[in-house]
């Protein structure tokens, strides 16, 4: 069993035992977190929904990310993933207890001195709580950055469930 499947199964089991559900808002992973979770049989009882909001417009329209946040901090920022997670929980209409939100620079282009390739922000938010935001810089190619982001997001939620 690969690491992604291991963390996904562990997470779904923990959430299932507590009767809780999860949703996700993804940018740089393009749905990889949702796909990893839904690869597990029985995930429909625990996985509520996923939002792939690659563009800034999608982040604003689907998740309610403020244009001011994007202008001031950019799509790859702690502030943006916080608003993405909050928007995903809101859009779940009370179905989800937790939200995972990710945004980053997967590469190979798009990086800068301030926001290099591999920079990723992950927010884990529990309904009624304050989001836990982490900043990472992952090594490797585009696929590797996306896989590492997915794995770390699942690990992070496992730690608080």
Listing DSSP states for 94-148 in one string gives T--SEEEEEEE--SSS---SSS-TTEEEEEEEETTS--EEEEEE--SSHHHHHHH
Average pLDDT over residues 33-51: 98
Q: Could you report the per-residue pLDDT of 91-111, keeping only the tens digit for each?
A: 999 999 999 999 999 999 999
Confidence of residue 122 (pLDDT cuts 50, 70, 90): very high
pLDDT value of position 13: 97
pLDDT value of position 87: 98
pLDDT value of position 125: 98
pLDDT value of position 102: 98
pLDDT value of position 71: 98
pLDDT value of position 156: 98
Q: Is the pLDDT of residue 73 over 90?
A: yes
pLDDT value of position 35: 98
Q: Give which of 104, 103, 84 is closest to 92, Cα–Cα.
A: 84
Q: DSSP label at 23?
A: E
Show the tokens assigned to 73: 């901090």
Q: Could you report the per-residue pLDDT of 123-155, keeping only the tens digit for each?
A: 999 999 999 999 999 999 999 999 999 999 999
Q: Give which of 30, 109, 104, 101 is closest to 74, Cα–Cα.
A: 104
Q: For a pLDDT cut of 70, what percent of the chain falls above it?
A: 99
Q: For 3-160, which CATH superfamily applies? A: CinA-like (3.90.950.20)
Q: Give which of 122, 132, 131 is closest to 154, Cα–Cα.
A: 122
Backbone torsions φ then ψ of 29, nearest 5 degrees: -85, -15
What is the rounded average pLDDT for all residues in the chain?
97
Q: Does the predicted TM-score (pTM) go above 0.95?
A: yes
CB atoms closer than 10 angstroms to residue 45:
10
């Amino acid at each position: 069993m690969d690491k992604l499947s291991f963390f996904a199964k562990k997470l779904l089991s923990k959430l299932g035992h507590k009767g809780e559900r999860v949703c996700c808002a993804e940018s740089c992973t393009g749905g990889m977190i949702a796909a990893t979770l839904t690869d597990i049989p029985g995930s429909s009882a625990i996985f509520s929904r996923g939002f792939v909001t690659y563009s800034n417009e999608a982040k604003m329209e689907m998740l309610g990310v403020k244009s001011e946040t994007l202008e001031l901090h950019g799509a790859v920022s702690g502030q943006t993933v916080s608003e993405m997670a909050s928007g995903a929980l809101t859009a779940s209409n009370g179905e989800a207890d937790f939200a995972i939100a990710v945004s980053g620079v997967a590469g190979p282009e798009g990086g800068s001195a301030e926001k290099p390739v591999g920079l990723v922000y992950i927010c884990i938010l529990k309904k009624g709580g304050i989001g836990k935001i982490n900043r990472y810089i992952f090594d490797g190619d585009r696929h590797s950055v996306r896989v590492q982001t997915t794995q770390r997001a699942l690990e992070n939620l496992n730690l608080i469930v």
